[in-house]
Each structure stands twice: as structure tokens, then as C-alpha cells.
Amino acid sequence: MNIVIVGAGEVGQHLAGMLSREEHAVSVVDPDPAKARRMTESLDVQALVGDGTRADVLTQAGASKADLVVAVSDDDRVNMLASVISKRLGAQRVILRLKDTARLAGYRYFYKSVLGFDVVLSTEDLAAEEILSTVRERHALEVETFADGRVQLRRLRMREESELTSEPIQSLRIPAGVLIVAVSRKDDFFVPSGEDELRVGDQIYTIGKAADLDAFERMAGEKSVWDRSVVIMGAGGIGREIAKKLSGTPGVSIRLIERDAPRAKALASEVPGEVMILVGDATDLDLLLEERIGDANVFIATTDDDENNMVACQLARSLGVERTVAMVNKASYRQIYDLLGIDQAISPRILCANSILRFVRSGSPSAISVIGDGKAEVLELRADLKGSVKIKALELPRGAVIGALVRGDSVKIPTGDSTVESGDQVIVFTLPENLEQVERIFRG
């Protein structure tokens, strides 16, 4: 593939290294001559010194003939403008990296059509979800969100016998807004039919709305309430996102420590009242002792200062916290975190680069998520049909399931009798061998 990367920061460097080793033709654009020189000397890539928002620079880098342009600089506005220009120049596919996707809320499809991106990734969202998986523990092993967060795909493990393992899927009384779209069983990965039965040990992929999926998890034997005490250090973007997503979860108590009083006050107006916000320094031992932080189950350090994150996690662990999680802003520090005994070290930039790699390896330009190391893909397609067509009349191949329909402001988890209209955004879960057939069906 011919790939252009805008931005030679940590994401761009990691991505360029991986892609060049896979023998893709890679060009990197960055305004910093030192970064460009290092890329050229250490990697088999073409590095251009220039502004990634200029059409002449992007053309020189090959964007007009690129199979993929990835805008991953540290400036969201640069990435957005690079996305627009690259698509207009003729790039087949554009991946846009944003630190914060809040600006897209409620207008995602509008921005997608205006900016021209095919996939948008947020470093903050990816890091927050990775950290939340640690806190969830017994609940979903993996969560992907679609349609502005209104639809979720969750991966669950069937840990014990339950009503879900008692009879064929077609006989189960599962919530109406939930679809079982795939099952991973030992070495097998398949889309089940109504006649299949779930077994203990299966990992199952379900799609639906959050409340319905919660009810499904309870059917699977997951506890509706499990006591967790969580302490978050830092009220930046990732800390705020974690606090918001955990707030209101039954059995989870949340304390957030922020040294900047104005930022702490601003957060207090954004999150529900059950989140306790403390103004102070999480590396202050007296504060940690006074607030009995040692009684917490999970301590999460999310600041931009790696050294402070390390110290705070070490203090929390010494006081008795069960699990410590720290943000890593410098990739070279990850081994140090391991040596210090920090349970989980998460680099938002490397998470983002690895997510982009999955899209590069995917079989469809319409893929918005790649599942199970490429065993399945989630596509977002705009239906181009003649009139309204019932889903069961579309004759989708076995191994393809429509997970959601987006029509204007409404999102629906469909059944076989639901209708698809031209112009609908259709979210499809499919096995790789069905990609071309599924795209042909919805593109007329």
C-alpha cells in the first residue's frame, strides 16, 4: 500500500516503523527537520519537511495517489485540515486522529462528510477504555462504540452455567435490543445461527444499546453490583472521561485527586455528585494517608507527568492498593514501569498506532472496527437501494449481521422485518470472506 503519515510524533514514528517493516511504501510529513532526519536515518521511509495542511506538500508526499492517509500530528486542527485536503486530492481512505472527539458529538456524520475522514480515533477515548477494562474486571472484556456512542459492541466470557447456556439461541429470552453477532470458541470463530447453543468458556460478541447489554450481562451470570473503590489522579481529558463513564455504576465509588483548584471546580460541574473531587497532590503521602487511599481497589494515574504518575502509583501500592494503573507519555518509560511493579502501563499514542495498524490490515475501506485480530470487521455503509427493503430480503451472506441502523437522529437495533432505506447508515458485523458481497448489496 502507498501510505502517507502526517505527523512524526510518537504515533507517527511507531506507525511508520511498523508499516515500513511490513513493506508498505510510506511517506511521512512533519515541519520539524530533526524529526524528519531521524525518520529517514532509522527507517525505510520517505520523510518530507513541510506543513501537512498544504496541498503542494501533501501532493509531493503522494497523497493524491495514496491508498491511505493517516493524520496523526499532535494538533487536532492540523489533522482535520489534512484530512479534508487529502480526500479532495484523491486519497482513497483517510484516518483522522483526534485527542478529543467531543467536538464531533451529535454531528459525527456531518463532520465525516465535510472533513472526508473514513475513521476517527481518539487517543483519550482509547486510553480511557483500556483503563476501564481493568476496573470492570468481571464485566465486558472489550467495548467498541458506534453511532456517537449510542450503540456498543461488547465481548463477554461465559464464565458459568446460566439460562444463556440452557437452550438454543432462538429459544433464549434475551433483551429485544441485543444481537449475538459472533462466538469465539477455542480455535473457532463464527457467527451463530438460532440453532446454535452457547457454552461455558465461550467468548461472545454482542451488539446493542448499553442498558439492554447490561441486562444481557446479568443473564450471563455477571453480578449487577460489585464493590469497587477507584481513585483517579488527574482531571485532564482521560481522567475526566474515566470519571464520567464510571459515575453512576452500581457498587463503584470514585475519588478524583486534582492539584489545580480551578480545574477541579470545573470538573465538579461536569460529573455527577457521587464523584468525590479532592484538591491536592496525589504524591503527597499525608494526603493519601488522610484520605485512606490504601483501602482502594484501583489507583489510576492519568497526568501528563510520567515521573509523578510513577511516584503516585508506588505510594498507592505501598499503602495497600490492590491494582495500580499509570499513563505512559514517553514510550521508553514502559519498561521502567514494569520494573517498578506497576500493574498496568498504558500509552495512549501506542494504543492509537496499533488501532491504525488493524485498519491497514483490514480488508475493506469501510471498516470502522477490526475484531479479534482480524477475524471479523465492523463496516459502516451508506445504503444505496431502490426504495425500502426488509433486512431479510437483502439476502445477506451467512456470517454477516446488521447490528444497527442510523436514520437521521434515530438509532435502531433491527430485526429481520426492519426496513432499510436509501441514505441510511448501516453498521454491519461481518466475517472477512463476506466483505465484497456485503458492500455490493448496500451499494446497489
pLDDT tens digits, 246-296: 887 777 899 999 999 999 988 888 887 789 999 999 999 999 999 999 999
**141: in domain:** yes
What is the per-residue pLDDT for 300? 95
What is the per-residue pLDDT for 342? 82
Contact 264, 235 (CB under 8 A): yes
Q: What is the mean pLDDT of the chain?
A: 88
Does residue 79 share a domain with residue 9?
yes
Does residue 300 share a domain with residue 279?
yes
**23: in domain:** yes
**243: in domain:** yes
Q: Strand, helix or coil at 364?
A: coil
User: What range does the domain containing 396 cover?
Assistant: 363-442
pLDDT tens per residue across span 25-68? 999 999 999 999 999 998 999 999 999 999 999 999 999 999 99
Does residue 96 share a domain with residue 49?
yes
> Which of 95, 117, 139 is the last residue before a domain boundary?
117
Q: How far is CA 282 from the centre of its chain?
A: 28
**170: in domain:** yes
Does residue 246 share a domain with residue 214?
no
Q: Per the structure, how many domains does the chain have?
A: 4
Query: Minimal CA–CA distance to 27: which of 53, 2, 9?
Result: 2
| 312, pLDDT greater than 80 | yes
**315: in domain:** yes
> Which of 117, 150, 177 is the last residue before a domain boundary?
117
**245: in domain:** yes
- Report the percent of the chain where pLDDT is more than 70: 95
**204: in domain:** yes
List Cα–Cα distances, 375 to 1, 136, 195, 275, 366, in angstroms: 21, 24, 22, 39, 16
Does residue 181 share a domain with residue 253?
no
Does residue 373 share a domain with residue 406?
yes
Q: What's the CATH code of the domain at 15?
A: 3.40.50.720
**Between these two residues, 360 and 141, which has the higher pLDDT value?**
360
Does residue 16 share a domain with residue 72?
yes
Does residue 338 share a domain with residue 237?
yes
Does residue 107 share a domain with residue 86?
yes
List Cα–Cα distances, 75 to 8, 391, 433, in angstroms: 12, 42, 37
What is the rounded distance in angstroms from the CA atom of residue 139 to the CA atom of residue 154? 10
Q: What's the CATH code of the domain at 160?
A: 3.30.70.1450
> Which of 159, 185, 219 is the last residue before a domain boundary?
219
Does residue 113 share a domain with residue 132?
no
pLDDT tens per residue across span 158-178? 888 888 998 999 999 999 889
Does residue 14 share a domain with residue 110?
yes
**358: in domain:** no
Does residue 181 share a domain with residue 248?
no
